[in-house]
Structure 1
Amino acid sequence: MLPAFITDFVGLIFPQTCLACADSLARGEEHICTACRAQLPYTDYHKLAEKENPLARRFWGKVPVQHTLSYLRFLRHGRVQHLLHQLKYQGQREVGQVLGHWYGLELSQQGLQNDFDLIAPVPLHPRKLAKRGFNQSDCFAEGLAQGLNLPWDPSILRRNEHTDSQTKKNRTQRWQNVATVFEVAHPATVAGKRILVVDDVLTTGATLEACALVLLAAGCQHVSIATIACAEQ
């Protein structure tokens, strides 16, 4: 570890900034400043019974989901949108890892680590993965795995078709876009397991629904869902 005066000197020349607000970080802060962390729009859905969880309703009648979890509310032009942009398009993998770790610790405090055996990130198509260089959902999954003290495996799910962006599609179009693109790479890996499927943002839930269906068809015990953020509907 470098002496404090060297760290301070380096910080003056190459100041680290908060990935949410871009202000300089104080000593002891990493990636996201204390003020932003206090003001992030947390959902606290993990503290609700599933029947009272508004996110769970998005999957009712479509696919059975044990827990429907999302850490933050997605608000346009807010801190969460900026953080997600830093993660997906600026290569700031630490955003996903830090938020995942924080959320994993909160879920553990609720005892939810006992409801999962394995964490599976929603995969990117190999072509998109090669272009971006990493999977943002896997970054979040890694952080969750650390916070929950559970294993994660980015190879559980495989995307076998390259699809168009979901951004400007409605619910039906999103479902048609992803309904047949996922498969379980090794069904024996998930047989009888309680799987937590992880993505960056939950909107209509079409992508996560498609992943849950193939996991259930492969013989897992049940599926839960967790995302960094959820968009209002």
Structure 2
Amino acid sequence: MSNFYGKIPVQNVRAFLLYQKEGIAQKLIHELKYKNQPEIGIFVAEWFGETLKSLGIFTDVDYIVPVPLYIQKLKKRGYNQLTMFGKKLGDVLQIEYKPNILIRTSFTTTQTQQQRFERFSNSNTKFKLTNTLIFENKHVLLIDDVITTGATLEACATELLKTKNITISIAAMAYTQKN
């Protein structure tokens, strides 16, 4: 996935499933995200985590950090679809899950119906670290559900890079191929 090449320094980027319109990954993530099915996140994390572990990937990661939801969206939905995924991935890989250190400070509408350009131009979403020292000299695994343009992950990574001597890797449940 070259979405991040030349944009932000990331050590490693991995995604587990291919996200296609009307495909199984789309259906799974839709159920997880909008139908309160956290067991899907647990299932994917367990399978993905065991695969990563068997390949020796992310063995030097210190923390798992989820892409955060805006507080109003979190209240409306009632949960972040990445929570159970991140916790289980942390259990499998023996990495501490650290939510609420990276927070979203602005709201964007859902990107599920937007075209690639619209998604990328919507990347002015702001993120903020609540603690600028916790990730100093650490390797952080930033997680998301789907990598499309990479704009949201890039915005998160840009904020994380304000931390001294941080290393960032990215993992997602799925990714989309460029059209």
Do residues 66 (structure 1) and 15 (structure 2) align? no
Pick aligned residue for 1:88 from 28, 33, 37: 33
The secondary structure found in structure 2 opposite 1:91 is: coil
Q: Deviations over 1:156-215 (max 9, x none)?
A: 210001112223445554344233511111111111110000000000000001111111
Do residues 182 (structure 1) and 127 (structure 2) align? yes
In structure 2, the residue matched to 1:230 is: 175
Aligned residues: 178
CA distance in 1, matches of 2:22, 2:125: 33
The secondary structure found in structure 1 opposite 2:96 is: coil
CA distance in 2, matches of 1:108, 1:78: 26
Do residues 206 (structure 1) and 138 (structure 2) align? no
Pick aligned residue for 2:86 from 115, 119, 141: 141
Between the aligned residues of both structures, percent identity stands at 40
Unaligned runs of 5+ in 2: none
Distance of aligned partners of 1:61 and 1:170 in 2 relative to their CA distance in 1, 3 Å threshold: farther
Deviating runs (4+, > 6 A) in structure 1? none
Higher RCO (CA < 8 A, seq sep 6+): 2
CA distance in 2, matches of 1:172, 1:195: 28
In structure 2, the residue matched to 1:105 is: 50
CA distance in 2, matches of 1:220, 1:101: 30
| Cα distance, 1:149 vs structure 2 | 1.0
Q: What's the TM-score, normalizing by structure 1?
A: 0.72
Pick aligned residue for 2:95 from 150, 156, 162: 150
Structure with bigger helix share is 1
In structure 1, the residue matched to 2:106 is: 161
Q: What's the TM-score, normalizing by structure 2?
A: 0.93
CA distance in 1, matches of 2:136, 2:26: 36
CA distance in 2, matches of 1:225, 1:152: 14
CA distance in 2, matches of 1:197, 1:160: 17
Distance of aligned partners of 1:174 and 1:79 in 2 relative to their CA distance in 1, 3 Å threshold: closer
CA distance in 1, matches of 2:87, 2:141: 12
Structure with bigger strand share is 2
Q: Is the 8 A contact 2:104 2:125 kept in 1?
A: no
| Cα distance, 1:150 vs structure 2 | 0.8
The secondary structure found in structure 2 opposite 1:199 is: strand
Q: Which moved more, 1:143-152 or 1:162-171?
A: 162-171
Superposed CA RMSD: 1.5
